[in-house]
Amino acid sequence: MDKLILKSPAKINLFLEVLKKREDGYHQIRSLMQAVDLCDELILEKRPKGVVISCDHPRCPADETNLAFKAASLLLQEEKEDQGVAIHITKRIPISAGLGGGSSNAATALKGVRQLLELKVPDCTLHKLAARVGSDVPFFLYSGQALVQGRGEEVRPIRIYGGYWLVLVCPGIEVSTRWAYQNVKISLTKGSRDVNFGNLRDASGFFAALPHFENDLEEVVSKRYPITRRIKDSLENFGAVKSSMSGSGPTVYGVFEQKPQAEEVARKLLRGDWQVFLTRPIPG
Protein backbone atom coordinates (compact mmCIF):
# COMPACT_ATOMS: atom_id res chain seq x y z
CA MET A 1 0.00 0.00 0.00
CA ASP A 2 1.46 3.34 -1.10
CA LYS A 3 -1.54 5.62 -0.56
CA LEU A 4 -4.32 5.94 2.02
CA ILE A 5 -7.41 8.19 2.09
CA LEU A 6 -9.08 8.74 5.47
CA LYS A 7 -11.94 10.81 6.87
CA SER A 8 -11.16 13.10 9.81
CA PRO A 9 -14.35 14.00 11.74
CA ALA A 10 -15.30 17.06 13.72
CA LYS A 11 -16.70 16.94 17.27
CA ILE A 12 -19.10 18.81 19.46
CA ASN A 13 -19.12 19.09 23.24
CA LEU A 14 -22.50 18.03 24.61
CA PHE A 15 -21.27 19.48 27.88
CA LEU A 16 -17.96 21.01 28.96
CA GLU A 17 -17.01 21.61 32.59
CA VAL A 18 -13.89 23.61 33.45
CA LEU A 19 -13.08 22.48 36.97
CA LYS A 20 -9.78 24.11 37.95
CA LYS A 21 -6.42 25.42 36.79
CA ARG A 22 -3.71 22.75 37.02
CA GLU A 23 -0.13 23.19 38.18
CA ASP A 24 1.09 22.34 34.67
CA GLY A 25 -0.78 25.34 33.26
CA TYR A 26 -3.61 23.34 31.70
CA HIS A 27 -7.18 23.24 32.96
CA GLN A 28 -8.89 20.24 34.49
CA ILE A 29 -11.96 19.53 32.39
CA ARG A 30 -14.80 17.06 32.12
CA SER A 31 -16.64 16.85 28.83
CA LEU A 32 -19.02 14.61 26.92
CA MET A 33 -17.72 14.70 23.34
CA GLN A 34 -19.56 13.49 20.28
CA ALA A 35 -17.94 12.94 16.87
CA VAL A 36 -20.05 14.09 13.90
CA ASP A 37 -19.98 13.30 10.20
CA LEU A 38 -18.67 16.70 9.13
CA CYS A 39 -15.21 15.58 8.03
CA ASP A 40 -11.92 16.73 6.56
CA GLU A 41 -10.10 14.32 4.25
CA LEU A 42 -6.49 13.24 4.67
CA ILE A 43 -4.49 11.65 1.84
CA LEU A 44 -1.33 9.94 3.05
CA GLU A 45 1.35 8.74 0.63
CA LYS A 46 4.68 7.07 1.23
CA ARG A 47 7.85 9.05 0.58
CA PRO A 48 11.52 8.19 1.11
CA LYS A 49 12.01 10.11 4.34
CA GLY A 50 10.48 12.67 6.69
CA VAL A 51 7.08 14.36 6.71
CA VAL A 52 5.71 16.93 4.29
CA ILE A 53 2.26 18.45 4.59
CA SER A 54 -0.05 20.44 2.36
CA CYS A 55 -3.59 21.77 2.63
CA ASP A 56 -6.18 23.34 0.36
CA HIS A 57 -7.13 25.97 2.99
CA PRO A 58 -5.00 29.15 3.01
CA ARG A 59 -5.16 29.56 6.80
CA CYS A 60 -4.21 25.97 7.57
CA PRO A 61 -0.45 25.85 8.30
CA ALA A 62 1.56 23.68 5.93
CA ASP A 63 4.66 23.41 8.11
CA GLU A 64 5.87 21.96 11.43
CA THR A 65 3.21 23.92 13.37
CA ASN A 66 0.44 21.81 11.83
CA LEU A 67 -0.80 19.26 14.37
CA ALA A 68 -0.95 16.48 11.79
CA PHE A 69 2.70 17.17 10.91
CA LYS A 70 3.62 17.07 14.62
CA ALA A 71 1.75 13.81 15.15
CA ALA A 72 3.26 12.04 12.14
CA SER A 73 6.75 13.25 13.00
CA LEU A 74 6.43 12.09 16.61
CA LEU A 75 5.35 8.62 15.52
CA LEU A 76 8.23 8.25 13.05
CA GLN A 77 10.70 9.40 15.71
CA GLU A 78 9.21 7.06 18.31
CA GLU A 79 9.55 4.08 15.98
CA LYS A 80 12.91 5.20 14.53
CA GLU A 81 11.27 4.72 11.16
CA ASP A 82 13.30 5.60 8.04
CA GLN A 83 10.28 5.78 5.72
CA GLY A 84 8.43 9.06 5.43
CA VAL A 85 4.95 10.26 4.58
CA ALA A 86 3.32 13.08 2.64
CA ILE A 87 0.00 14.30 4.03
CA HIS A 88 -2.51 16.39 2.12
CA ILE A 89 -5.49 17.82 4.03
CA THR A 90 -8.71 18.82 2.33
CA LYS A 91 -10.48 21.07 4.84
CA ARG A 92 -14.21 21.16 5.39
CA ILE A 93 -14.21 21.68 9.15
CA PRO A 94 -13.88 25.41 9.92
CA ILE A 95 -10.58 26.48 11.49
CA SER A 96 -10.43 27.74 15.11
CA ALA A 97 -14.14 27.01 15.46
CA GLY A 98 -14.40 24.76 18.54
CA LEU A 99 -14.95 21.66 16.40
CA GLY A 100 -11.54 20.04 16.92
CA GLY A 101 -10.49 19.98 13.26
CA GLY A 102 -6.75 20.25 13.89
CA SER A 103 -6.85 17.70 16.70
CA SER A 104 -8.85 15.32 14.52
CA ASN A 105 -6.32 15.70 11.70
CA ALA A 106 -3.52 14.83 14.15
CA ALA A 107 -5.25 11.69 15.43
CA THR A 108 -6.12 10.63 11.88
CA ALA A 109 -2.49 11.15 10.87
CA LEU A 110 -1.33 8.92 13.74
CA LYS A 111 -3.70 6.13 12.76
CA GLY A 112 -2.98 6.62 9.07
CA VAL A 113 0.80 6.54 9.34
CA ARG A 114 0.61 3.38 11.44
CA GLN A 115 -1.58 1.71 8.82
CA LEU A 116 0.26 3.01 5.75
CA LEU A 117 3.74 2.07 6.96
CA GLU A 118 2.50 -1.12 8.68
CA LEU A 119 4.01 -0.12 12.02
CA LYS A 120 3.45 -2.44 14.96
CA VAL A 121 2.49 0.33 17.37
CA PRO A 122 0.06 -0.57 20.19
CA ASP A 123 -2.97 1.63 20.84
CA CYS A 124 -1.56 2.70 24.23
CA THR A 125 1.54 4.16 22.55
CA LEU A 126 -0.60 5.97 20.00
CA HIS A 127 -2.64 7.41 22.87
CA LYS A 128 0.48 8.71 24.65
CA LEU A 129 1.73 10.35 21.49
CA ALA A 130 -1.69 11.90 20.88
CA ALA A 131 -1.67 13.45 24.37
CA ARG A 132 1.73 15.01 23.63
CA VAL A 133 0.37 16.65 20.48
CA GLY A 134 -2.72 18.28 22.01
CA SER A 135 -5.45 17.97 24.62
CA ASP A 136 -8.29 16.98 22.26
CA VAL A 137 -6.23 14.62 20.11
CA PRO A 138 -6.69 11.42 22.20
CA PHE A 139 -10.49 11.60 21.84
CA PHE A 140 -10.25 11.28 18.06
CA LEU A 141 -8.41 7.97 18.32
CA TYR A 142 -11.77 6.55 19.39
CA SER A 143 -15.08 6.45 17.58
CA GLY A 144 -18.38 8.03 18.46
CA GLN A 145 -18.80 9.34 21.98
CA ALA A 146 -16.62 9.53 25.06
CA LEU A 147 -16.35 11.12 28.47
CA VAL A 148 -13.13 13.12 28.41
CA GLN A 149 -11.39 14.21 31.60
CA GLY A 150 -8.05 15.47 32.92
CA ARG A 151 -6.73 17.97 30.39
CA GLY A 152 -8.29 15.79 27.68
CA GLU A 153 -6.01 12.78 27.83
CA GLU A 154 -8.37 10.63 29.92
CA VAL A 155 -10.88 9.15 27.46
CA ARG A 156 -13.66 6.74 28.40
CA PRO A 157 -15.77 5.64 25.42
CA ILE A 158 -19.46 5.36 26.27
CA ARG A 159 -22.65 4.64 24.36
CA ILE A 160 -25.38 7.25 24.21
CA TYR A 161 -28.36 7.91 21.96
CA GLY A 162 -27.38 9.24 18.54
CA GLY A 163 -30.57 9.33 16.48
CA TYR A 164 -30.76 13.10 16.11
CA TRP A 165 -29.63 15.82 13.71
CA LEU A 166 -27.41 18.83 14.25
CA VAL A 167 -27.26 22.25 12.68
CA LEU A 168 -23.81 23.78 13.15
CA VAL A 169 -23.46 27.53 12.67
CA CYS A 170 -20.00 29.07 12.51
CA PRO A 171 -19.92 32.88 12.15
CA GLY A 172 -17.04 34.50 10.30
CA ILE A 173 -14.80 34.92 13.35
CA GLU A 174 -12.11 32.89 15.11
CA VAL A 175 -11.83 32.42 18.88
CA SER A 176 -8.54 31.61 20.58
CA THR A 177 -8.90 28.51 22.76
CA ARG A 178 -6.04 29.73 24.96
CA TRP A 179 -7.74 33.10 25.48
CA ALA A 180 -11.06 31.44 26.38
CA TYR A 181 -9.47 29.22 29.03
CA GLN A 182 -7.37 32.06 30.41
CA ASN A 183 -10.46 34.17 30.96
CA VAL A 184 -13.04 31.60 32.11
CA LYS A 185 -14.35 32.14 35.63
CA ILE A 186 -14.00 29.07 37.84
CA SER A 187 -15.98 28.81 41.07
CA LEU A 188 -13.90 27.78 44.08
CA THR A 189 -16.71 25.43 45.10
CA LYS A 190 -17.21 24.00 41.63
CA GLY A 191 -17.52 20.24 41.26
CA SER A 192 -18.52 17.84 38.51
CA ARG A 193 -22.22 17.68 37.74
CA ASP A 194 -23.88 14.37 38.40
CA VAL A 195 -24.75 12.64 35.11
CA ASN A 196 -26.26 9.17 34.84
CA PHE A 197 -24.82 8.04 31.53
CA GLY A 198 -26.93 4.90 31.53
CA ASN A 199 -30.00 7.11 31.10
CA LEU A 200 -28.54 8.64 27.92
CA ARG A 201 -28.75 5.44 25.90
CA ASP A 202 -32.36 5.90 24.83
CA ALA A 203 -34.08 8.88 23.26
CA SER A 204 -36.26 9.85 26.24
CA GLY A 205 -33.37 9.89 28.71
CA PHE A 206 -31.06 11.69 26.30
CA PHE A 207 -33.50 14.48 25.43
CA ALA A 208 -34.49 14.87 29.10
CA ALA A 209 -30.85 15.37 30.10
CA LEU A 210 -29.85 17.72 27.27
CA PRO A 211 -31.31 20.95 28.75
CA HIS A 212 -29.17 20.46 31.86
CA PHE A 213 -25.89 20.24 29.91
CA GLU A 214 -23.77 23.40 29.84
CA ASN A 215 -20.54 24.70 28.38
CA ASP A 216 -18.55 26.64 30.98
CA LEU A 217 -16.73 28.62 28.27
CA GLU A 218 -19.94 30.05 26.81
CA GLU A 219 -20.26 32.99 29.19
CA VAL A 220 -16.80 34.45 28.61
CA VAL A 221 -16.92 33.91 24.84
CA SER A 222 -20.42 35.35 24.41
CA LYS A 223 -19.47 38.52 26.29
CA ARG A 224 -16.65 39.23 23.86
CA TYR A 225 -18.41 37.76 20.83
CA PRO A 226 -22.17 38.38 21.33
CA ILE A 227 -22.91 36.86 17.91
CA THR A 228 -22.61 33.43 19.56
CA ARG A 229 -25.47 34.26 21.91
CA ARG A 230 -27.60 35.55 19.03
CA ILE A 231 -27.04 32.35 17.05
CA LYS A 232 -27.92 30.26 20.10
CA ASP A 233 -31.14 32.24 20.61
CA SER A 234 -32.04 31.84 16.92
CA LEU A 235 -31.59 28.08 17.03
CA GLU A 236 -33.74 27.81 20.14
CA ASN A 237 -36.41 30.06 18.62
CA PHE A 238 -36.48 27.79 15.57
CA GLY A 239 -37.24 24.80 17.79
CA ALA A 240 -33.89 23.24 18.72
CA VAL A 241 -34.22 20.80 21.62
CA LYS A 242 -30.88 22.14 22.81
CA SER A 243 -28.47 24.79 21.59
CA SER A 244 -24.93 25.27 22.87
CA MET A 245 -21.50 26.47 21.88
CA SER A 246 -19.00 23.74 21.01
CA GLY A 247 -15.65 23.88 22.78
CA SER A 248 -14.27 27.41 22.88
CA GLY A 249 -16.48 28.41 19.95
CA PRO A 250 -17.48 30.29 17.98
CA THR A 251 -19.47 27.42 16.45
CA VAL A 252 -22.92 27.00 17.98
CA TYR A 253 -24.98 23.88 17.38
CA GLY A 254 -28.66 23.07 17.62
CA VAL A 255 -30.02 19.59 18.31
CA PHE A 256 -33.13 18.50 16.35
CA GLU A 257 -35.06 15.26 16.57
CA GLN A 258 -36.04 15.12 12.88
CA LYS A 259 -34.05 15.76 9.70
CA PRO A 260 -36.71 17.84 7.86
CA GLN A 261 -36.86 20.38 10.70
CA ALA A 262 -33.06 20.56 10.86
CA GLU A 263 -32.86 21.05 7.08
CA GLU A 264 -35.39 23.90 7.23
CA VAL A 265 -33.52 25.65 10.06
CA ALA A 266 -30.20 25.28 8.23
CA ARG A 267 -31.72 26.98 5.18
CA LYS A 268 -33.11 29.83 7.30
CA LEU A 269 -29.75 30.51 8.93
CA LEU A 270 -27.66 30.33 5.76
CA ARG A 271 -26.09 33.71 4.99
CA GLY A 272 -22.97 34.96 3.31
CA ASP A 273 -20.64 35.38 6.27
CA TRP A 274 -21.74 32.26 8.17
CA GLN A 275 -20.93 28.63 7.54
CA VAL A 276 -23.92 26.38 8.22
CA PHE A 277 -23.71 22.59 8.25
CA LEU A 278 -26.34 19.89 8.58
CA THR A 279 -24.73 16.88 10.21
CA ARG A 280 -25.40 14.01 12.58
CA PRO A 281 -23.55 12.01 15.24
CA ILE A 282 -21.15 9.22 14.33
CA PRO A 283 -22.22 6.03 16.14
CA GLY A 284 -19.97 4.50 18.76
Write out residues in the chain with pLDDT < 50, as ranges. none
Q: Is 75 left (phi over 0), alpha (psi -120 to 50) or beta?
A: alpha
pLDDT on residue 192: 63
165-279 and 3-157 share a CATH fold? no
By annotation, the residues acting in catalysis are: 11, 136
pLDDT at residue 172 in the model: 85
pLDDT, tens digit (0-9, with 9 covering 90-100), for 89-123: 999 999 999 999 999 999 999 999 999 999 999 99
171-196 pLDDT, tens digit each: 989 899 999 999 998 875 555 677 88
Where do the structural domains in the chain lie, given as residue ranges? 3-157, 165-279
- Helix, strand, or coil (residue 7): strand
| Class level of CATH domain 3-157 | alpha beta
Q: 42 to each of 45, 54, 159, 175, how far by Cα in Å? A: 10, 10, 27, 24
Contact 16/220 with Cβ under 8 angstroms?
no
Distance CA 12, CA 166 (A): 10
Q: What is the pLDDT of residue 187?
A: 72
Answer yes or no: CATH 1.10.357.10 is held by domain 165-279: no
Distance CA 45, CA 56 (A): 16
Contact yes or no for 211/15 (Cβ under 8 A): no
According to the model, what pLDDT value does residue 24 have? 85
pLDDT at 14: 98
